[in-house]
Amino acid sequence: MSIFAKLKFFFPIKIDRKTEFHFVQDYQKHVRHLIRSYPLDEAMSLAVSGNYFEVGNIEKDILISYGLKPYMSIVDYGCGSGRLAQALPIEYNLNYIGIDIIDDLLNYARTKSPLNYKFIRHRELSIPLESESIDMICAFSLFTHLLHEESYIYIEDMKRVLKKGGKLILSFLEFGLQDHWSIFISTVNAQRNNTLPHLNNFIEKSVIKIWAEKLGFEIIEIIDGNNRKFNGNCLGQSIAVLRKPK
């Protein structure tokens, strides 16, 4: 018997989770620190990396360019403090659902959004919605803060929730882009100084393609978000647009 075969006897088959996921703990600390250190509006902007209104408008333009239409149902996963929610056209009368893990962010998002928008706190690796109930899901700068296996589990459940023909639009960081290297170096320096507020993770386009293939998504487009402009503006992260087959 090999050493690897023997090792399996020393690992439990199922782990009883008694602590919260790393991303819950990290963001709770991060957001609380921001609220203590800055005026509320500034703290809520910094909690989603700043440029609250500008980035929200870019995200809105991305969704519209990839097919967001009036009266659609949309899930904004990792909605944060509502930068996308406040930018979406009110006249679209969307069935909007924002999901995040931090109450302070969700409470702020509610103050910036139409009254019919729904916000949910959810801290599990799942989407708390019915199967085939949503037209579009977006996850802007969500998977940048998760482990790959966590991202894969989320994307798998997002496919379940999407209607046939529904789209998933996500953004990500990748080492292949020179502009993203500075983010990695700043993360390295924060780690050295023990000041890293949360995980920064990188995903290559090849990984997105493999995940899409394994999960049965159609790839509409995977683009360099530093070069593709939407109404004259770039998001700054790469973008993948996936579709659930009809």
pLDDT band at 13 (very low <50, low <70, confident <90, very high): very low
Cα–Cα distance between 242 and 170 in angstroms, integer?
Answer: 8
Helix (H) or strand (E) holding 243: strand 238-243
Mean residue pLDDT of the chain comes to: 88
Does residue 80 sit in helix, strand or coil?
Answer: coil
Q: Where are the domains of the chain?
A: 52-243
Under CATH, which number does the domain 52-243 receive?
Answer: 3.40.50.150
Q: What is the pLDDT of residues 208-224, one digit of tens each?
A: 999 999 999 999 999 98
Give the pLDDT confidence score for residue 191 in this predicted structure. 72
Closest to 242 (Cα-Cα) out of 204, 208, 214: 208
Q: What is the pLDDT of residues 195-205, one digit of tens each?
A: 666 677 889 99
Give the pLDDT confidence score for residue 4 in this predicted structure. 38
Q: pTM score, two decimals?
A: 0.86
Per-residue pLDDT averaged across 26-40, rounded?
92
Does residue 106 sit in helix, strand or coil?
Answer: helix
Give the pLDDT confidence score for residue 38 in this predicted structure. 97
Give yes or no for a contact between 27 and 98, defined as CB atoms under 8 angstroms apart: no
pLDDT band at 231 (very low <50, low <70, confident <90, very high): confident
Give the pLDDT confidence score for residue 235 in this predicted structure. 86
